[in-house]
Amino acid sequence: MSVTYRRDGRIGVITIENPPVNALSQAVRAGLMQAAAEFAADNRAQAGVILCAGRTWVAGADISEFGKPPAEPFLPDVIAAIEGLDKPVVAALHGTALGGGLELALGAHARIAVSNARMGLPEVTLGLLPGAGGTQRLPRLVGLEPALKTITSARQIPAPEAADLGLIDRIADGDLTSAALALAEELAGQAPRRTGDLPAPAADPALAEALKAKLARTARGQIAQATAVDAVTEGLSLPFAEGMAMERAAFRALMDSPQRAALIHAFFAERAVGHLPQIKGVEPRPLDRMGVIGGGTMGAGIAVAALLAGLDVTLIERDAEAAAKAQATVAKLLDGSVKRGKLEAARRDVILSDSFRTDTDYAALSQADLIVEAVFEAMEVKEQVFRALDRVAKPGAVLATNTSYLDVNRIADATGRPADVIGLHFFSPAHVMRLLEVVVADRTAPEVVATGFALARRLKKIAVRAGVCDGFIGNRILSHYRAAVDAMVLDGASPYQIDRALVNFGFAMGPYAVSDLAGLDIGYMTRQRKAADRHPRDRVPVFADRLYEQGRLGRKTGRGYYIYGDAAPQEDPELAPLLDRVRADLGITPRSFTDKEIVARTMAAMVNEAARVVGDGTALRPLDVDVVMLNGYGFPRWRGGPMHWADRQGLRAILDDIRRFAAEDNHFWQPADLLCDLVAGGRSFADLNEGTKP
């Protein structure tokens, strides 16, 4: 039984127990309906309490039911039944009250929460709007502006702030159940205060328009946010019941949208990447003391990520001057966390005095549980570091490299303990970006892999397992679609048009703006490193080399593809003549590309290489690729990732595109075997996503 009813004196107690997060599955909805009826019929109960067992109040509708035929009783009807009771009911909240969970609490007649509870309506992050009264009851309870902000931001509101807003009536002092029973005792005999009966606030068209204008930028391309604003606004002038019907229709329309399917795929994929048969039941190694080698942007970011998660960190630099610089960088990044409200100032001071130190001697790492190397990206340098680590690290310490391309097997060979060596590929800035590629080398021990995943959980990052190859999952796919966009520039497209087309598709940034941000020296050095292995038919982006040679390294020099100053980045009028010269030298007659073709070529290249990455086992499943591209490469979340997107287009259409492009260049455009096999078998990438929820 996921919902039970009992009586405590004159208070009826309804308890929901549906681990892990008390989601409102059909069984819970039916159980609530039944329990509400029992409470109504119980003449000795004069007020009621709804409680949740386990770690949290209800975290929302059961997302795994979405996309299937809806099953009765429907949540709005369950909540209406509770709100309509003629005896007051108190919702007792702990953990997180989210989505349908908060809507259930809004249908109760009073709300009490523990002080560290949080509540919110995150439906827009799933491509939906609150569909069980949230758009109608919340404005009545807390006012129009707070309601609109809560719904469109999906923010989780801490209990004290919720109390100030009037979202909850009381914060529990001590034990939640006792405090909720006491509140119910106070209310017993009184008429229930129904949120749906409260007057709606006055409309404010200017507020709604301003919010929609802002959302057009911050939630670019997404439909749920603006639909939610409309549902709230429309409801203000409708009787409550009609507002509920209007909300339901809007919710159902969003439920049928591809954006909803993509966002829910992303939600489950991000959880599925951690379910690895190889490490099921494997205990991670202890993880308290961490060593970081190298205090540049990456090393300092990794140190800060670890410090913010409560780890003790020793950072090694080559001399006292570099160590002092690293110390200052770490302090500055922590200051940034204080400014953004992520860290208390006093805690920053304690971290810097007690948990963080720099040193110039590897011997200072003798007690570290895990050491991450973030030094210059060259094999000889990495090998040297790992030889030194092998001498000082304690037995059982995990030795990790943060390389973004290099062969982790070779790095492991520099030690006498390859089973302890792993790749932990952080993304810059490492204390902000959520993605961590856990690169498993041939001899990496399962408990070392489990420790990599445990570290990610501790740092609140999403870990994805990757195999060893040049660039692992993300950078390997990136270099392939990068080659496709560079080829279009060589053939006549403008980098600015390419950036615009891909931003319009939904990418956070275009590839040339990204180059400027990363620094054109990075791409140049990668090309140098790979020059020896280059195939004669590989197309070299000579224009990028020219920019590098002119010292145009991107943002850091004020000029790259764009010109940077105080204003927004400007297009550079000198770029077009430079490109013309390069094309003339190569004997290329430039041609034009439509935005549609730019997107088709970029996506075909991305999907094709991603299919190879899955086909050769570098990524375990298509969903692992999606999670990497969503969290490390600015792929629009509402398109679900390249593999989910490709399934929606139809894999045959993508393969046809690749074959069409191959007519011009059959060296670059070779269809991946996996893609051909799936098309031949009438299957999709989703079919390979074993372990994901429906």
With contact defined as beta carbons under 8 Å apart, do 408 and 457 qualify?
no
Nearer to ligand 3H9, 168 or 224 (CB): 224
**Residue 100 Cβ vs ligand 3H9, minimum distance, rounded to whole Å:** 3
Q: CB of 198: closest distance to ligand 3H9 in angstroms? A: 20
- Please identify every residue annotated as catalytic: 103, 123
Smallest separation (angstroms) from ligand 3H9 to the CB of 82: 14
> What's 65's DSSP letter?
G
CA atoms of 555 and 299, how far apart (whole Å) = 21
Sign of CA dihedral 23, 26, 30, 31: negative
- Pair of tokens at residue 125: 């992050």
Minimal distance, residue 440 CB to ligand 3H9, in Å: 21
CA terminus-to-terminus distance, the chain: 24
Closest CA to 415 of 456, 459, 448: 448
In 200-355, DSSP assigns E strands to 289-293, 312-316
Q: Tokens 């909300």 correspond to what residue?
A: 247
Distance (Å, whole) CA 49 – CA 92: 7
What residues pair up with 554 in beta bridges, in sequence order? 559
The answer to whether the beta carbons of residues 338 and 345 sit under 8 Å apart is yes
Listed residue (286, 284, 281) closest to 448, CA to CA:
284
**C-beta contacts of 538-543 below 8 A and 24+ residues apart:** 538/483, 538/667, 538/668, 539/483, 539/486, 539/487, 539/490, 539/665, 539/668, 541/486, 541/489, 541/490, 542/490, 542/582, 542/585, 542/586, 543/489, 543/490, 543/578, 543/579, 543/582
Alpha carbons 608 and 654: distance in angstroms, whole number: 9
Bridge partners (DSSP) of residue 111 are: 91
- Helix H or strand E encompassing 466: strand 462-467
Q: Compare residues 85 and 126 and give the one whose CB is closer to ligand 3H9.
A: 126
User: Of 27 and 322, which has the nearer Cβ to ligand 3H9?
Assistant: 27
> Smallest gap, in angstroms, from Cβ of residue 641 to ligand 3H9?
17
Give me the least distance between CB of 76 and ligand 3H9, in Å please.
Answer: 7
Computed from CA positions of residues 668, 674, 676, 682, in that sequence, does the dihedral angle turn out positive or negative? negative
Nearer to ligand 3H9 among residue 123 and residue 657 (C-beta): 123
Q: Which residues of 33-51 are buried (b: 16+ CB within 10 A; e: fewer)?
A: bbbbebbbebeebbbbbbb
DSSP 638: G
- Closer residue to ligand 3H9 in complex, CB, 37/71: 71
Q: How far apart are CB 627 and ligand 3H9 at their closest, in Å?
A: 13
Asked if 36 and 85 touch (Cβ cutoff 8 Å), the reply is: yes
Residue with Cβ nearer ligand 3H9 (254 or 308): 254
Q: How far is the CB of 611 from ligand 3H9 (least distance, A)?
A: 26
Q: Which residues sit at the interface with ligand 3H9, rule CB under 6 A?
A: 20-21, 23, 59-64, 75, 96, 98-100, 103, 122-123, 126, 128, 130-132, 134, 271
Positions of E strands within 496-599: 562-563, 570-571
Sign of CA dihedral 73, 79, 80, 86: positive
Cβ nearer to ligand 3H9, comparing 129 with 575: 129
Give backbone dihedrals phi and psi of 97, rounded to 5 degrees, phi first: -105, 105
Helix and strand numbers (H, E) in the chain are 28, 19
Calculate the alpha carbon distances from 110 to 82, 87, 89, 192 in Å. Answer: 12, 11, 7, 9
Shortest Å, Cβ 214 to ligand 3H9: 22
User: Measured from the CB of residue 284, what is the shortest distance to ligand 3H9 in angstroms?
Assistant: 17
| Residue with Cβ nearer ligand 3H9 (129 or 603) | 129
Of 134 and 294, which has the nearer Cβ to ligand 3H9? 134
Q: Please identify, using beta-carbon distances, which residue of 75 and 90 lies nearer to ligand 3H9.
A: 75
